Amino acid sequence: MTSTGGTPSDATSRLASLTRKPDRAADRELLDALLDETKVGTLSTVVDGLPWSVPMLFARDGDSILLHGSTGAGALRHVAAGAPVTFTVFALDGLVVADTLFDHSANYRSAVVRGVLEVADDAQLALEVLSDKLIPGRVAEVRPTTRKELAATVALRLPIVDGQWIAKARTGGPGGESADWTGVVPVRTVYDAPVTYSGDVPPDSVRALVD
């Protein structure tokens, strides 16, 4: 774990570095792995002087984060027009159990990416990349997206720019020695068997999630 995304300008230096526990700063490799693994992040901005945040499905596509939503969403039109945003993701990897409540902690990975969203040049491609991250192989199993559906959808890209992101992580057990039990309870996300609403057999892409 080595860096926080390049050398920021003076105006953004306070937002591009860790002031507390700088040893937890993580590099671009961890950032990319976290963005590839995590399926939901939180998009935040300011609308009419008030804070605005919404959890969103997303996918990393090279050096950018892909998002999509309805063209009827006023806040999305606001950020698509150039309002500055942050996009945050968090993965809980374990509960760290110490011998005092003060020393309890968690193992985690997190990231904050700042910047300005851009309207994706190819909305169809953006939707396919996003869909195949959530359910790999599903794009090839469904009918093509219609023009009407594309017209109702806004696809956005948030560039991942050096100096405009921070990634951090905690690993390991509780600090110090103790005669009492201490340790880590690992946390992971799993898929249960699909619940059928129509049809007979789930498609290959869905079955692959739980195999």
Residues 126-177 have pLDDT tens digits of 999 999 999 999 999 999 999 999 888 889 999 999 999 999 999 999 988 8
Distance CA 137, CA 102 (A): 46
- Global pTM reads 0.85
Q: Which of 176, 177, 131 is nearest to 153 (CA)?
A: 131
CA distance 67 to 2: 28
- The answer to whether residue 105 scores a pLDDT higher than 80 is yes
* Rounded CA Rg of the chain: 20
Q: What is the largest CA-CA distance in the chain?
A: 66
Is the pLDDT confidence value at 14 over 80? no
E-state strands within 98-188: 105-116, 118-119, 153-159, 165-170, 183-186
Q: What is the mean pLDDT of residues 83-111?
A: 96
